Structure 1
Amino acid sequence: METRELRYFVAVAEELHFGRAAQRLGIAQPPLSRAIHQLERRLGASLLERTSRTVTLTEAGSVLLQEARAALDAVEAAERRTRRAALAATGRPGVVLATKAGASSELVAKLLDAYAAEPDAVTVDLLLCGIGEQERLLRDGRADVALLHLPFDSASGFDTEELRAEGQVVVLPAGHPLTGRTQVRMAEVTELPDLPLPRWPGPDGAYPEGPGPRARDHAQLLQLIALGRACWIAPESCRAQLSEDLAAVPVLDAPMVTTVIAWPPQSRSRAVAGLVRAATRH
């Protein structure tokens, strides 16, 4: 299969309309239809069910959509990493570190300071991202290395080194009755009628259903908590970024959060190796 055919198929599968898919791709509809027919003949499988009004995916088409997205992401990642390696070879080396905005700020600062002291250190570009985006940035080649937080992020397919394990706390408005406690349990937090947990967007950008407010980033969430609109269960290290109008109480039975530094197993970057060594050493 050619990458061109896969791009064509993904466009049709996502739009479920040949006209809109052709417009999205910037081509005419007849060559798009021919390319999809040719792909189906080559695979010996029907990928789309077509009627005069609708286009739907077959079971085989659903499988190919997932596989095609992964394959195209891999091709784009290979292109980005190759270009970055070429820049390094011309005397402009660097490494891109993806980390969640507002999270692990103290750890990131220590990591960067430790790495900068290394004799072969190169420039580290920070890629600050939203909730759960580090994994995608690492997989598609926009980042060389990332800080992931288990069990919330997936480290599947990456090489990792553990940097820190910590408990979790519930962040509340200062003066809330629970702030007088030395610890609470998860059930007490999830049953707070006046302070629901926030809703974060999923990989598709959609928010799950629920009573909690929609949260885009940590800065917005901390403001919502201070206003008495939400609470938040977060790693213990979040205390460093809390203002005086917020308080944190340990959650006794919350799962431990493990911060790892992750990189693609096929990476041969000396800069990535150096950054990982500095991170694990310090």
Structure 2
Amino acid sequence: METRELRYFVAVAEELHFGRAAQRLGMAQPPLSRAIQRLERRLGVTLFDRTNRTIALTEAGTVLLREGRAALDAVAAAERRTRRAVPGRPGLVLVTKAGATGELLSKLLDAYAAEPGAATVDVLLCQPGEQERLLRDGRADVALLHRPFDSTTGLEAEELYTEGQAAVLPAAHPLTDRPHLRTADVAALPGLPLPRWPGPGGTYPPGPGPEVRDHAQLLQLIALGRASAILPDSCRSHLDPGLAAVPVLDAAPVTTVIAWPPHSRSLPLAALIRIALRLGSEHGSAALVRGG
């Protein structure tokens, strides 16, 4: 199959309408229909169930849609990484979630910049859940991710440190006097619902909590007494005086990892990873000391 054929197929599969798909592709409908028919004949399968009024994906079409999207994403990622590999201008693009890993990121950038021959590092700060996509589609060379929230399937990754989570509440709230809480305590707080983050496609799940897009917005809502949140313990380092954090005993531990595409042979990336592992080990040791 050619990438052109895959793009044709994915457009029709997503639109489920040849006319709309042709318009999206900037071509006439008859040659698009013929291209799909040729693809079906060559594969020996039926990709669409067609009637006079509707079309629907067959089981084979559903498989090709999933695999075709992945293949097109891989091609686009290869193109982006190739264009960035300009001789004489080595550089890295690091992506991380805005408001997270701030202390580690600052130390990492400073320590790497002090290395002989260090490359330029451009930092992309994104919304939660976006850093994994930016790394996979070739817009970034390396990412700081957080398990279990982010997936590292198909990526190379090294664990930096693991930490617990804490409930972030308005400083004057009565529960801030407790030594610890449980997730059920936080979920049941009247007037302080947990936030709703955007999912795939930017849509929010249903629920009573406020819709938030970044940590700065969330922390402001908590200070105003409109929300609560359960965040990694490291959030304590940048809480305003109007906020307080209480450990949550049964919240899942969060592991910060550094991740990069497989088969990378970038020497600047290797140096950055080496420094991140050292700093992650130091961060984890310091956290153990602080925890007593």
Q: TM-score range by the shorter chain?
A: over 0.9
Aligned pair partner of 2:177 in 175, 180, 184: 180
Moved more, 3-12 or 155-164: 155-164
- The one-letter code of the counterpart of 1:21 is A
Q: Distance in 2 between matches of 1:17 and 1:33?
A: 10
- Tell me if structure 2 keeps the 8 A contact 1:114–1:279: no
Partner of 2:282: none
In percent, how many aligned pairs have the same letter? Answer: 74
Structure-to-structure mapping, 1:233-272, within 5 angstroms: 233-272=230-269
Partner of 1:148: 145
Partner of 1:83: 83
Q: Distance in 1 between matches of 2:212 and 2:89?
A: 38
Partner of 2:34: 34
List per-residue Cα deviations over 1:91-133 (Å, max 9, x = no partner).
1110000100111111100110111111121100001111111
Partner of 1:108: 105
Partner of 1:216: 213
- Tell me if structure 2 keeps the 8 A contact 1:11–1:21: yes
Partner of 1:57: 57
Q: Distance in 2 between matches of 1:277 and 1:71?
A: 31
Partner of 1:48: 48
- The one-letter code of the counterpart of 2:100 is A
Q: How much has 1:193 moved relative to structure 2?
A: 2.9
Q: How much has 1:272 moved relative to structure 2?
A: 0.7
List per-residue Cα deviations over 1:138-157 (Å, max 9, x = no partner).
11111100001011100111
- The one-letter code of the counterpart of 1:186 is T
- The one-letter code of the counterpart of 1:20 is R
State the Cα RMSD in Å: 1.1
**For this pair of structures, how many residues does the alignment match?**
279
Q: How much has 1:173 moved relative to structure 2?
A: 1.4
Give the TM-score normalised by structure 2.
0.93
List per-residue Cα deviations over 1:58-115 (Å, max 9, x = no partner).
1111111110000000001111111222x1x2x1110000100111111100110111
Q: How much has 1:52 moved relative to structure 2?
A: 2.2
Matched, 1:136 2:125: no
* Unpaired segments ≥5 residues, structure 2: 280-292
List per-residue Cα deviations over 1:220-247 (Å, max 9, x = no partner).
1112212222111100111122112111
Matched, 1:201 2:198: yes
Q: Distance in 1 between matches of 2:200 and 2:107?
A: 30
